[in-house]
């Protein structure tokens, strides 16, 4: 990627057409004055060292050097440097439920907003760890691949909405499958998956996958969002309207603690229940800190590579050439120039 560090200086380039116009005007006026002196051959004889082209060459070199110096002020920089960093940390996959039931307001302001806040609080506690974000409802996809760029992670978390997946429902098994493929292949015990959901999934496949994850050393923690008594599901964008079933009854979504507890047990992890008083993050932090740290390899994006060296050298060379070019013809050139009137007369 190419950009300028100080792009405001590029506005100075508007002066270049003005300088060219001034130079051209000066040359036209100067040539007209010379023509008024008389016959061109006589004028050339009287002004043997006058050059009609050297001032133009000098100006071309000078104006290009000025453009280069302006670009230098704008600080051109190209690409980003990436550095591979090896540290001791965890690999975490956060699987977030974004089904419509997560809009229920039994946890203020609603389950999804509370989940997003919890994730951001978790990210703020990470240091040398890498994390990936999986979003799921009736389907699942990787919102953020495994990374240690916590700024990007927060940005992706803030952008999460329920309408990112059209296929509604709560398919935790698909989320676990997707999450398992996000981990690195190294055989270490520094991997954990955090599933944040209300647990409204009635398939047994998720339990089986959680067991397989546990056998691979991947611990699964579940964070239950919601209350057992449940709450209606608001219709997004419609105030005081709630989802209804085929019989026109208001749909009540309830926290399925049993499902989430089974997942955590199968994955050798822990179930944590959130409520309006606490999310349970302290307990989660304590459990994550107990995990054995392993080597995680991440790429850190450093600053842009400044490209001023080449441009500065280029501008300096042009200015030196401009200084070396004389506006007048040299005496040696006058002696060997066959078009010189003096040479013709001598013959």
pLDDT digits (tens, 9 = 90+) for 57-105: 888 999 999 999 998 888 887 665 556 666 778 999 999 999 999 999 9
Diameter of the chain measured on Cα atoms: 117
pLDDT given at position 131: 93
The whole-angstrom separation of Cα 25 and Cα 157 is 61
CB atoms within 10 A of CB 147: 16
CA 147 to chain centre: 12
Yes or no: say if 266 and 176 are a contact pair by the CB < 8 Å rule: no
- 0.75 cut: is pTM over it? no
The ranges assigned to domains in the chain are: 2-79+305-346, 91-292
Residue 346's pLDDT is 45
For the 91-292 domain, the top CATH level (class) is: alpha beta
pLDDT at 347: 42
State mean pLDDT over 9-31: 90
Nearest CA to 132 out of 119, 113, 145 is that of 145
Which secondary-structure segment (H or E) carries 224?
strand 219-224
Per-residue model confidence (pLDDT) at position 104: 94
Mean pLDDT of the chain: 83
Contact, 172 vs 197, CB < 8 A? yes
Q: What is the pLDDT of residue 309?
A: 79
Quote the tokens at residue 170: 């709560």
Residue 251 has pLDDT above 80, yes or no: yes
Higher pLDDT, 329 or 228: 228
Alpha helices in the chain (DSSP H): 15-35, 40-46, 54-73, 111-125, 150-158, 172-180, 205-215, 257-266, 281-290, 308-324, 331-336, 341-346
* Predicted pLDDT at 252: 93
185-199, 304-318, 325-339, range with greatest mean pLDDT: 185-199
Q: How far is CA 344 from CA 37, 40, 51, 335, 336, in A?
A: 22, 15, 18, 11, 11
Q: Using an 8 Å Cβ cutoff, are 197 and 222 in contact?
A: yes
């Amino acid at each position: 990627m190419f950009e300028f560090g100080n792009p405001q200086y590029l506005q100075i380039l508007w002066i270049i057409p003005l300088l060219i116009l001034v130079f051209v005007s000066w040359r036209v006026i100067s040539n007209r004055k010379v023509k008024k002196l008389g016959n061109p051959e006589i004028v050339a004889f009287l002004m043997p060292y006058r050059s009609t082209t050297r001032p133009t060459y000098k100006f071309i070199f000078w104006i290009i050097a000025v453009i280069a110096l302006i670009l230098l002020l704008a600080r051109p920089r190209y690409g980003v440097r990436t550095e591979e960093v090896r540290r001791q940390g965890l690999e975490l996959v956060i699987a977030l439920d974004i089904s419509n039931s997560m809009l229920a307001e039994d946890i203020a302001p609603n389950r999804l907003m509370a989940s997003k806040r919890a994730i951001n609080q978790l990210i703020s506690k990470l240091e040398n760890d890498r994390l990936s974000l999986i979003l799921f409802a009736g389907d699942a996809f990787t919102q953020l691949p495994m990374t240690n760029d916590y700024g990007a992670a927060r940005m992706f978390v803030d952008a999460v909405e329920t309408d990112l997946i059209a296929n509604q429902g709560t398919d935790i098994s698909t989320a676990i499958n997707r999450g398992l493929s996000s981990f690195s292949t190294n055989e270490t015990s520094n991997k954990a998956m955090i599933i944040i959901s209300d647990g409204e999934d009635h398939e047994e496949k998720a339990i089986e996958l959680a067991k397989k994850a546990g056998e691979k050393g991947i611990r699964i923690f579940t964070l239950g969002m919601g209350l057992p008594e449940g709450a209606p599901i608001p219709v997004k964008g419609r105030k005081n309207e709630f989802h209804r079933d085929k019989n026109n009854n208001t749909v009540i979504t309830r926290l399925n603690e049993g499902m989430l507890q089974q997942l955590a047990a199968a994955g050798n992890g822990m179930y944590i229940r959130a409520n309006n008083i606490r999310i349970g993050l302290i307990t989660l932090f304590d459990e994550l800190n107990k995990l054995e740290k392993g080597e995680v390899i991440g790429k850190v994006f450093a600053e842009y590579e400044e490209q001023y060296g080449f441009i500065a050298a280029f501008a300096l060379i042009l200015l030196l050439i401009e200084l070396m070019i004389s506006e007048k013809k040299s005496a040696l050139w006058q002696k060997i120039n066959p078009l010189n009137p003096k040479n013709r007369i001598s013959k």
